[in-house]
Structure 1
Amino acid sequence: MDLGIAGKTAIVCGSSRGLGRACAQSLARAGCTVIVNGIDPERLAATAVDIRKETGAEIIEVAGDVTTPAGQNALFEKCNAPDILITNAGGPPFRDFRELERDAMLNGVTWNMITPIELIQ
Structure 2
Amino acid sequence: MDLGIRGKRAIVCASSKGLGRGVAEKLAEAGVDLTLNARTEAVLRETAKEIADTYGVKVQIVAADVTTEQGRKELLAAEPQPDI
- Residue 4 (structure 2) aligns with: 4
Q: CA deviation at 1:81?
A: 1.5
Decide which structure has greater helix share: 1
Which stretches of structure 1, 4 residues or more, deviate above 3 A after TM superposition? none
Q: Give the TM-score normalised by structure 2.
A: 0.97
Q: CA deviation at 1:53?
A: 1.1
Q: CA deviation at 1:56?
A: 0.8
- Residue 34 (structure 2) aligns with: 34
| Distance in structure 1 (CA, Å) of the matches to 2:14 and 2:39 | 8
Q: CA deviation at 1:35?
A: 0.3
- Stretches of structure 2 lacking an aligned partner (at least 5 in a row): none
Indicate the SS of the match to 1:67.
Answer: coil
- Stretches of structure 1 lacking an aligned partner (at least 5 in a row): 85-121
- Residue 78 (structure 1) aligns with: 78
Q: Deviation digits for residues 78-104 of structure 1, max 9, x if unmatched?
A: 1111110xxxxxxxxxxxxxxxxxxxx
Decide which structure has greater strand share: 2
- Residue 19 (structure 1) aligns with: 19
Letter in 2 for 1:70: Q
Identity within the alignment, %: 46
Q: Give the TM-score normalised by structure 1.
A: 0.68
